[in-house]
Amino acid sequence: MSENEPRSDGGVTQESIFGTDEEVERRRTPPAERARRAFDFYIATPFRVAWSDWRTRIGGVGVLFYLLMGTVGVWLVPPPQINEGPYYLQPFVDWSMPLGTDNLGRGVFKTLVHSTPAMMKMALAGIVFSIGIAVLVGMIAGYKGGVVDTVLMTIADVFITLPGLPLIIVLAAIFSPQDPFIVGTIIAIDQWPGLARMLRSQVLSLREEDFVEAARSIGLSTPTIVGQELVPKVAPFVLVSAAGAAVAVIFQSVALYFIGVLPFNSFNWGVMMQLAYQQGNAISAPGRAGHWMLFPLLAISGVSFSLILFSQGLDRVFNPRLLARHSETVPEDEQDGAGDL
Amino acid sequence: MNYYIRRFAQAIVTFVVGMFITFALYRLVPGGPVEAIIADRVQQMQQRGQPVDTQEVGDMAEQLTGINPDTPIPIAFYEWLRDIILYQDFGESILFQDPVFDILFRGMPWSIFLSVYGLLLGFTATIAVGVFMAWHEGTKIDSGLTVFVLVMRSIPYYVAAIVMLSVLAFQWGLFPTGGRAPPAATPGFNVEYMVGIARHAALPILSNFIVGFAGGAIGMRALSVRVIGEDYLRSARLRGLGTNRILTRYLTRNSILPIYTGFMLGIAGMFSSNVITEVIFQYHGVGWFMLEAAVSQDYPLVMAAFVFFSSITVTAILIADFTYGLIDPRAGTGASRESF
């Protein structure tokens, strides 16, 4: 594999001490051609690989559906109003209220759609918080080693030791959070230590690799090595973990709203289930209020199914061997060796 | 040996630090238990038209929670910990008006009962299904089971619990709708009571089984596929060993190793998720008490339940670390690495 082609492992050389052929080659290539290659390599090829796998295809469409529901859907569907229909209307009877109504005559479908943004905010806060801390702690601990590693891992151990759900329940009882962003952050509090430990162990094996040793021996700084050599290697794992964290946050937040630990002043799927259980007796008398609880349940299962499928398939998007086979700008004869770096 | 002592000390330190963080949080945050109780009482008195004596109300709240706001947090924490270790005194529950230790001690066996059975069933199924999928790798059985496992994983366990409770218990009446034991039966070793316990525990254990099962099967499959490719497995087959012997002795035993740690961590996770299961089935174990306490700001009971869950987690992780070297001799105990 020659140096002047885009490399199929996703590694990009940005800092170089000696001039290479690469720069000469780059000057010769017209900008339009470079842009086309970059587009093919970073956007079109991953998309093609993703689309070729049924898991990513179904999962991606599912995730997109929920994203649209939380953005465009809220704008299209009017917010639910009290007494806009009869109480406890069964689903699929009146098509202006497709999923029936609850105990105050609000449309279940409308409530469902208007609950999505709250769920998305919680998941987003959870992802940003847990993945951010995990990457920071895991990468630094793994690469630096020594005292830094011991200190950071001891902190992570303390948080692993605290039992997840009981801790969240205690925190929820202390803070009584209502803002979805804060709820998401609290729920994600038991996610980061495990991730940080896994990232650390990945970095531990990566730091012994030849290319890291080479980078170190030519005197590149630690931030450069971590940012340019290590981050691209662990990016797939981080992305897959982000999907996992989102699923965990959604699962647990709904559970906590359902059992009534978290206070609420707006709608989300867990709140709907809680109201259906408390006020509609949906569990003991599903004939009357069952639909009020069933549809949020389906929505949760659907979003977690999409996310899990999507993250399973994402593993393949980052597999360099597959990338080369789908790429248009990597010549045929070089594709056999791609990924053997 | 040195490693074991250091690891044990580390476990104790993490436990104490974790407790201290939670303890301090409870004190520092505005709207903590003492203030909540004071506000509650003041409101009650104002409604009745009584004159409000702040000092008196403050004293009463102190007595109820066992918290003296004037004591510095580290000293208060030391006293709290000392009472627990020396006298098993967790204070008195505000909600149930009973010593906290007695309440939790009565709930503990039930929680352990649910968690242990759910976990054992779940892990057995995980291993069996994972190895089975790997053995039939690439066939229709494999892809069919993969889809099934993925669907199982996407359904939260409490959803399964809710559906089972609604259909099996309320609609068809096959199982009781909540509680730990039939109220009519006399506790003890008699058939009626034992059968009653089993019937009451069946649905909670089944939903715990789903928690344990869903996560690991795909990972187990990947591990087993890797072992199938090893040379010793091929030579075992060439030696003409029976399929059953290869499956149990060679394949399963070697692919279980990496998930052993996961199993120990799973114990801790199982006790945690058991909180939700117990609430849904109105099963009065530690989790149910913890939730009731959290909702009604019963501070001593919440902290004690939290100690219970934390000690289970610490012990499980410690045992996992200590025994892993015995199970897999290739794993050393804390390798030395250079630092840069």
**Does A174 contact B26 at a Cβ distance shorter than 8 Å?**
yes
Q: Give pLDDT, residue B334.
A: 45
Q: Is the pLDDT of residue B215 over 70?
A: no
**Does A301 contact B159 at a Cβ distance shorter than 8 Å?**
yes
- Residue with the bigger pLDDT between B34 and B302: it is B302
What is the pLDDT averaged over residues B223-244? 84
Q: Give pLDDT, residue A219.
A: 85
Q: How sure is the predictor about B30, in pLDDT bands with cuts at 50, 70 and 90? A: low
**Does B166 contact A286 at a Cβ distance shorter than 8 Å?**
yes
In SS3 terms, A39-85 reads as HHHHHHHHHHHHHHCHHHHHHHHHHHHHHHHHHHHHHHCCCCCCCCC
Q: How does the average pLDDT of chain A come out, rounded?
A: 78
What is the pLDDT averaged over residues B191-205? 85
Q: Which of B293, B279, B256 is nearest to B207 (CA)?
A: B279
Structural domain spans, chain B: 7-87, 100-327
Q: For residue B337, which residues of chain A lie inside 8 Å, CB to CB? A: 145, 204
What is the pLDDT averaged over residues A248-261? 87
- Residue with the bigger pLDDT between A221 and B26: it is A221
Among A193-197, A241-245, B57-61, B115-119, the range scoring the smallest mean pLDDT is B57-61
Q: What percent of chain B has pLDDT over 90?
A: 0
Write the pLDDT tens digit of every residue in A128-185. 999 999 988 988 888 888 888 888 888 887 887 777 788 888 888 777 788 889 889 9
* Cα B141 to Cα B134: distance, rounded to the nearest angstrom: 10
Q: How sure is the predictor about A335, in pLDDT bands with cuts at 50, 70 and 90? A: very low
What is the pLDDT averaged over residues B14-41? 76
Q: Is the pLDDT of residue B230 over 90?
A: no
* Cα A261 to Cα B294: distance, rounded to the nearest angstrom: 7
Q: For residue B22, which residues of chain A lie inside 8 Å, CB to CB? A: 162, 167, 170
Q: How sure is the predictor about B145, in pLDDT bands with cuts at 50, 70 and 90? A: confident
Q: Is the pLDDT of residue A337 over 50?
A: no
- Residue with the bigger pLDDT between A230 and B66: it is A230
ipTM: 0.78
Q: For residue B268, which residues of chain A lie inside 8 Å, CB to CB? A: 163
Closest CA–CA distance from residue B236 to any residue of chain A (Å): 31
Q: Give pLDDT, residue A268.
A: 84
Write the pLDDT tens digit of every residue in A83-131. 777 777 777 777 677 777 777 778 888 888 888 888 899 999 999 999 9
* Cα A220 to Cα A213: distance, rounded to the nearest angstrom: 10
Q: For residue B272, which residues of chain A lie inside 8 Å, CB to CB? A: 163-166
Contacts of B119 (CB under 8 A, 6+ apart): B208, B212, B266, B267, B270
Structural domain spans, chain A: 36-85+97-318
Per DSSP, the residues of B31-51 read T-HHHHHHHHHHHHHHHHTPP
Q: Is the pLDDT of residue B129 over 50?
A: yes
Query: What is this structure's pTM?
Result: 0.78
Q: Is the pLDDT of residue B328 over 70?
A: no
Taken in order B128, A237, A38, A218, the sign of the CA dihedral is negative
Among A154-158, A272-276, A323-327, the range scoring the smallest mean pLDDT is A323-327
Q: Which residue of B has its CA nearest to A176?
A: B31
Q: Is the pLDDT of residue A189 over 80?
A: yes
Write the pLDDT tens digit of every residue in B277-313. 888 888 888 888 888 888 877 778 888 888 888 888 8
Distances from the Cα of A300 to the Cαs of A75, A119, B53, B157, B166, in angstroms? 21, 10, 50, 12, 18
- Residue with the bigger pLDDT between B310 and B340: it is B310
**Does A293 contact B162 at a Cβ distance shorter than 8 Å?**
yes
Q: Tell me the range of A18-27, A67-76, B19-28 where mean pLDDT is highest.
A: A67-76
* Cα B84 to Cα B310: distance, rounded to the nearest angstrom: 14
Q: Is the pLDDT of residue A341 over 60?
A: no
Domain boundaries A36-85+97-318, corresponding CATH code: 1.10.3720.10
Write the pLDDT tens digit of every residue in A295-305. 888 888 899 88
**Does B317 contact A160 at a Cβ distance shorter than 8 Å?**
yes
What is the topology classification, in CATH, of domain B100-327? MetI-like fold (1.10.3720)
